[in-house]
């Protein structure tokens, strides 16, 4: 399918940037100055020559025709992806103003696009590469899975032992033994191929240094870890949905094999969290017809933006498939039927009491759940001593912000947007409080991203 005639918005382009530095560098190149021979074709190719520091300008091409996301090619040496030149070119194109006229692609651009589309066509024809199990020997796959389950079981037993030792000797000793003990345990869980357990163990190591009340938090997390280990060891006796949740919490791979659900999905929020090795992108979608809120999770190695990039406030007509597990919001994006377009949809909101109750209900299906996606309607950001809360405009009830949300710049955008008046706020509501991600003014107005 092609996207001829549909120019993207600037926000849509900027969301493709792998990091803030690229976004800034790309913005600066999004002006006509450094570009020559730029153009765009009906087939969805955008190209241009960008003056760099060398004598030869960089050749930049972007193929925007593919519904699964744009593809980039640039002759610059940057390892960022997309590079600033590709971003600048798209910004220039998105800005209109005649700097990127319609035309026929030059030889170098056309060649690359043609080659790429050919390869993509072959790949599609050769079946979906995402399901390796389809081609492999099912018997071998079963044996592999069994071996892995045995290793996880061994890891879980060992972890249970360590937790019991810890509680026998007292959490107070954990404060002295420090981070090293947990790092070692986490490494053992990685060996056991239980990434989910490893991640939780690593977080345990940090808790004793998080200030007053740490014993309570440490006991909570130890208890939930114990619950997860026990869940794994007795998974045969659990209901199927809960067993699937346990498997995914442990870190076993799963595929999105739920039935495809087609809807107009509104992009509620997109944000990235990064550690040294990996960038994780979370995109919350709201189905205009199904009224479901679902989560797209994607990963990128450091320096590369996870795909896809979906700007807040746009809607895409697409199919999504759920991952297994009771109450899991995670889905995989299937076929897209049209490029993202602005829409006036807003999610329906609830009161703070309903939001808290919703979290409580969700714990029934997944007791390890940190938070649930909720839209609050008619709440007023309200200062509460040295913190903030979202107070119902019409009831005497309020949800406090999470500690992390209090220090984000998005808080002040939210306060400014509200100006003391009620706003609608989408965010994550959990036991630490509410983390606002997107807000809408009470009257007409666009969605304002807060993260």
Partner 1 sequence: MNRTSAPVGAPAAGAWEGLVTTALLGTDRRSTPGAGPGPEAPVALLDAAAVETVRRRAGLRPARAAERPRPAPEDPRPPLPPAAARRLAMLLADRPGVSGGGRRGAAPDLMELLPQWLAAANARGFAPPPQVLPALLDAARGRTDLRPPVLEFAGPRALWLARLNPDWRFALRSAPGGGAALPHLEDDDTVRRLWQEGLFAERVALLSALRSRQPSAARDLLATTWATERAEDRLMFLDSLRSGLGPEDEAFLEQALADRSRNVRATAAELLSALPGSALAGRMAVRAEACVAVDRTQSTPAIAVEAPHECDPGMERDGVVAKAPAGRGERSWWFGQLVEAAPLATWSRRLGGRTPREIVARPVADGWQGELHAAWCRAAVRQQDAEWSRALLGEPSAPEAGGPGAVSLAERAKLLGTLHADERAEWVAGFIATHGLSEAFQLLGVCAVPWAAPLGRAVVDALNIARDAGSYPWSFSGVMGLAERCLDPSEAGRLDALLAVPDEPESASPGAGGYWAESFQRLATTLRLRAAMAEELGAP
- Residue 256 interacts with partner 1 (CB under 8 A): yes or no: no
- Residue 404 interacts with partner 1 (CB under 8 A): yes or no: no
Give the footprint of partner 1 on residues 350-369 (CB under 8 A). 352-353, 355-356, 359-361, 363-364, 367
Burial class (CB in 10 A: 0-12, 13-18, 19+), 62: buried
Pick between residue 13 and residue 285 the one whose CB is nearest to partner 1: 13
Q: What are phi and psi of 230, to 5 degrees?
A: -65, -40
DSSP H helices, 234-339, are 240-250
Residue 18: partners with Cβ closer than 8 Å, 6 or more residues away: 80, 81, 82, 279, 300, 303, 304, 305
Distances (CA, A) of 168 to 112, 163, 164: 65, 8, 6
Residue for token pair 């630490």 = 432
- Residue 167 interacts with partner 1 (CB under 8 A): yes or no: yes
Among 1, 21, 140, 187, binds partner 1 (CB under 8 A): 21
User: Please, what is the minimum distance in Å from the beta carbon of residue 380 to partner 1?
Assistant: 5
Pick between residue 44 and residue 427 the one whose CB is nearest to partner 1: 427
Instruction: Name the segment binding partner 1 (CB under 8 A); options: 21-29, 41-49, 236-244, 304-312.
Output: 21-29
Give the footprint of partner 1 on residues 51-110 (CB under 8 A). 51, 53, 55, 97
- Structure tokens that stand for 129 in this block: 């590469």
- Residue 420 interacts with partner 1 (CB under 8 A): yes or no: yes
> Per-residue x/- marks for partner 1, 221-250, CB under 8 A?
-xxx-xx-----------------------
- Residue 398 interacts with partner 1 (CB under 8 A): yes or no: yes
- Residue 13 interacts with partner 1 (CB under 8 A): yes or no: no
Name 283's bridge partners. Answer: 270, 296
User: Please, what is the minimum distance in Å from the beta carbon of residue 376 to partner 1?
Assistant: 10
- Residue 10 interacts with partner 1 (CB under 8 A): yes or no: yes
Among 66, 238, 415, 442, binds partner 1 (CB under 8 A): 415
Instruction: Name the segment binding partner 1 (CB under 8 A); options: 73-81, 114-122, 298-306, 413-421.
Output: 413-421
Nearest Cα neighbor of 309 from 276, 337, 333 is 333
Written as one string, the DSSP assignment of 369-422 is --EEEEEEEEEEEEEETTEEEEEESSSS-EEEBPHHHHTSTHHHHHHHHHTTS-
Among 173, 177, 209, 255, binds partner 1 (CB under 8 A): 173
- Residue 16 interacts with partner 1 (CB under 8 A): yes or no: no
- Residue 199 interacts with partner 1 (CB under 8 A): yes or no: no
- Residue 178 interacts with partner 1 (CB under 8 A): yes or no: no
Residue 320: partners with Cβ closer than 8 Å, 6 or more residues away: 260, 261, 263, 265, 285, 294, 296, 331, 332, 333, 334
Among 31, 193, 290, 298, binds partner 1 (CB under 8 A): 31
Pick between residue 97 and residue 239 the one whose CB is nearest to partner 1: 97
Give the span between the Cα atoms of 25 and 167, in whole angstroms.
52
Instruction: Report the chain's C-alpha Rg in angstroms.
Output: 25
- Residue 121 interacts with partner 1 (CB under 8 A): yes or no: no
Residue 390: partners with Cβ closer than 8 Å, 6 or more residues away: 352, 376, 379, 380, 381, 382, 398, 399, 401, 425, 434, 436
Give the footprint of partner 1 on residues 143-162 (CB under 8 A). 160
**Binders of partner 1: how many residues, by CB under 8 A?**
77
Pairing of strands 293-301, 330-336: parallel
- Residue 413 interacts with partner 1 (CB under 8 A): yes or no: yes
Instruction: Name the segment binding partner 1 (CB under 8 A); options: 31-39, 70-78, 302-310, 327-335.
Output: 31-39
Pick between residue 296 and residue 429 the one whose CB is nearest to partner 1: 429
């Amino acid at each position: 399918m092609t996207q001829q005639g549909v120019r993207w918005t600037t926000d849509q382009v900027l969301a493709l940037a792998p990091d803030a530095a690229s976004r800034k560098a790309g913005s600066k190149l999004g002006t006509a100055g450094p570009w020559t021979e730029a153009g765009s074709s009906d087939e969805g190719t955008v190209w241009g020559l960008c003056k760099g520091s060398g004598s030869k300008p960089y050749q930049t091409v972007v193929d925007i025709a593919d519904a699964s996301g744009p593809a980039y090619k640039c002759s610059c040496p940057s390892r960022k992806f997309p590079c600033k030149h590709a971003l600048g070119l798209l910004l220039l194109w998105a800005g209109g103003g005649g700097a990127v006229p319609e035309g026929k692609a030059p030889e170098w651009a056309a060649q690359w696009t043609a080659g790429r589309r050919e390869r993509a066509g072959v790949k599609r024809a050769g079946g979906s590469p995402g399901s390796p199990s389809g081609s492999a020997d099912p018997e071998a796959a079963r044996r592999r899975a069994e071996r892995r389950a045995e290793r996880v079981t061994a890891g879980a037993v060992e972890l249970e032992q360590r937790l019991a030792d810890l509680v026998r000797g007292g959490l107070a000793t954990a404060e002295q033994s420090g981070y090293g003990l947990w790092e070692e345990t986490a490494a053992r869980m990685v060996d056991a191929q239980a990434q989910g357990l490893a991640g939780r163990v690593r977080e345990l190591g940090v808790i004793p240094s998080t200030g007053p009340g740490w014993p309570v938090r440490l006991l909570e997390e130890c208890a939930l870890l114990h619950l997860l280990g026990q869940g794994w060891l007795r998974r045969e006796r659990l209901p199927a949905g809960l067993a699937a949740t346990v498997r995914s919490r442990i870190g076993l791979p799963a595929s999105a094999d739920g039935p495809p659900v087609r809807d107009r999905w509104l992009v509620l929020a997109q944000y990235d969290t990064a550690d040294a090795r990996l960038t994780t992108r979370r995109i919350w979608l709201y189905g205009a017809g199904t009224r479901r809120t679902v989560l797209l999770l994607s990963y990128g190695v450091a320096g590369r933006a996870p795909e896809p990039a979906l700007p807040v406030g746009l809607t895409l007509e697409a199919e999504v498939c759920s991952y297994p597990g009771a109450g899991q919001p995670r889905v995989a994006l299937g076929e897209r039927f049209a490029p993202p377009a602005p829409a006036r949809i807003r999610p329906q909101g609830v009161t703070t009491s309903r939001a808290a109750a919703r979290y409580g209900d969700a714990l029934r299906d997944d007791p390890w759940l940190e938070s649930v996606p909720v839209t609050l309607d008619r709440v007023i950001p309200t200062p509460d001593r040295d913190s903030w809360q979202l107070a119902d405009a019409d009831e005497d009830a309020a949800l406090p912000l999470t500690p992390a949300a209090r220090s984000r710049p998005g808080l002040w955008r939210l306060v400014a947007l509200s100006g003391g008046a009620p706003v609608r706020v989408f965010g994550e509501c959990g036991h630490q409080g509410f983390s606002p991600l997107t807000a809408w003014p009470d009257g007409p107005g666009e969605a304002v991203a807060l993260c």
